[in-house]
Each structure stands twice: as C-alpha cells, then as structure tokens.
Amino acid sequence: MKLKDQRAPDEAVLPAIFGRLLDAYGPQHWWPGDSPTEVAVGAILTQNTAWTNVERAIKRMRQGGWLDWRRIDAAEAETLAEVIRPAGTFRVKAARLKALAHVVAARHGGSIERMLTRQTEGSVPRTIDEIRAELLAIHGIGPETADAIMLYAGGHATFVIDTYTRRVLRRHFLAGANEAYDALRALFMRSLPPDERVFNEYHALLVRVGKEHCGSVARCDGCPLAALPHDEPALDGNAE
C-alpha cells in the first residue's frame, strides 16, 4: 500500500501518528516513578516483565530503604535479589542494578541525577551521546533501557524503541521486520522536534495503543490509527 503523501513517509506519518494518539488518549503522565532513582530502577526491573510486578518490587525497595545507589553497590547480590524477587529474573536484575549502582557510586558520588546531567565540574558540558554511551557501557543496560533512563530520569531528548513501537512502525509501512534499534530511534529523532516532552509523550502513547490495539494480533477496529495506511493482518496472515 502506497502512502498518498509525497514527502518522505517518516516526515509525514510520524507526526500524524503522534497527533492522532494524543487526541485520542490525552497526556499519559509518564514515567511512573517519584524520583530519577525510582525511574532508573524501574527501567531495569521492567525488562521482560509486567509493570505490576515492577511496582511490587519497587515498593519493597522503597519500604526497605533500598532506593540508594551506594547501598545497592555495597550490598550482596543475593540480598538485593531477594528484595526485588517480585520483578522476576531477580538474580539477573540484581546484578544489573549493582552494575549501574557501581558506576553511580564510584564516578558520580552516588547520585543518578549527577550521572545524567550535562553539567560537569569542568567547563565543557557533557553531550547527550556521552551520557548515553556511559549507560550503554554498563553490563545489562541495552539501548532501550538506556534511552528510558535518559528520557524519563534525565529529561534528555532521546527516543525509546520497544516492541510496541516496532509493531506500529512495521504495520504502518515505516520499518521492516528486523530494523536495527538505532535506525528506528534515528527515524523518530529526525522526524520530530527535538523536544523531550514530545518524545516522552509519544513513547507512552505508543505503549498505550500497543496494549489496547496493536498487540501480537492487531485489533484495528476502533484504533486511533485505523485511518492511516496500515497492514491488514487478517488478509496477509502477518499477525505474529
């Protein structure tokens, strides 16, 4: 199916998708979390699990005084793993939290805010790419987690690509099946104004439409994006 608009498809369609989703759903008030530390912890705990499990784990951390990077860094991995058990794959996630905590504690005085800020004690501010690279160098932090921390804990204009986003892009002819993460991130970032509020809201809205309509099987009836050119899973058998 060809797009009617003669501009590059991403230029025309990505802002249109955003507008339609925002009109339909309104602001999503993301990310759920009371502080940059809670958001960053949540970004790691949410890997491969439902958010309700993450909430239970974060509640245990909050109640036990575990939202403290120095304490996480100093803790035995097994002890931390028991605290975050409700999040699932808790030993893996404890190791990942400890890896991030070690960098926060050793290089940034135990402050995730200091890690994520562009301001430095020297005269040259860090670039967003430098902050992102520091996150990506940490064991267990891939691009999706790094961008979620950058955007929702650090307030930096970087786009988060997740499974829901990939599905919507593919079904709307904006990406192939196996596009690289960075190619999809670049697609959003060149098609939208570099405004972290837009990126924040857009990702949250894509998750909303993914949960309500565009899951492993597309339910296009009543979807806010149904009027835009899209794949017809029932016809081509392309549902996952």
Shortest distance (Å) from residue 167 CB to ligand SF4: 7
Shortest distance (Å) from residue 172 CB to ligand SF4: 6
Distance separating alpha carbons of residues 80 and 45, to the nearest angstrom = 12
The residue (of 124 and 177) whose beta carbon lies closer to ligand SF4 is: 177
The residue (of 67 and 218) whose beta carbon lies closer to ligand SF4 is: 218
Distance separating alpha carbons of residues 109 and 135, to the nearest angstrom = 16
Distance separating alpha carbons of residues 102 and 164, to the nearest angstrom = 31
Is 18 within 8 Å of 198 (Cβ atoms)? yes
CA angle centred on 61, ends 201 and 146, rounded to 5°: 40
Alpha helices, DSSP H only, in 84-180?
90-108, 112-116, 128-136, 143-148, 163-171
> Can residue 225 be called a binding residue for ligand SF4 (CB under 6 A)?
yes
Shortest distance (Å) from residue 191 CB to ligand SF4: 17
By CB under 6 A, the count of residues binding ligand SF4 is 13
Among 81, 87, 151, 209, binds ligand SF4 (CB under 6 A): 209
Site string for ligand SF4, 126-165 (x = CB under 6 A): ----------------------------------------
Residue among 237, 234, 233, 227 nearest 171 (CA)? 233
State the amino acid at position 39 in one-letter form: V
Site string for ligand SF4, 166-205 (x = CB under 6 A): --x--xx---------------------------------
Among 39, 57, 146, 218, binds ligand SF4 (CB under 6 A): 218
Residue 240 DSSP class: -
Shortest distance (Å) from residue 174 CB to ligand SF4: 11
Query: What is the number of alpha carbons within 13 Å of residue 44 lying toward its C-beta?
Result: 27
Binding site for ligand SF4 (CB under 6 A): 168, 171-172, 209, 213-214, 218-220, 223, 225-226, 230
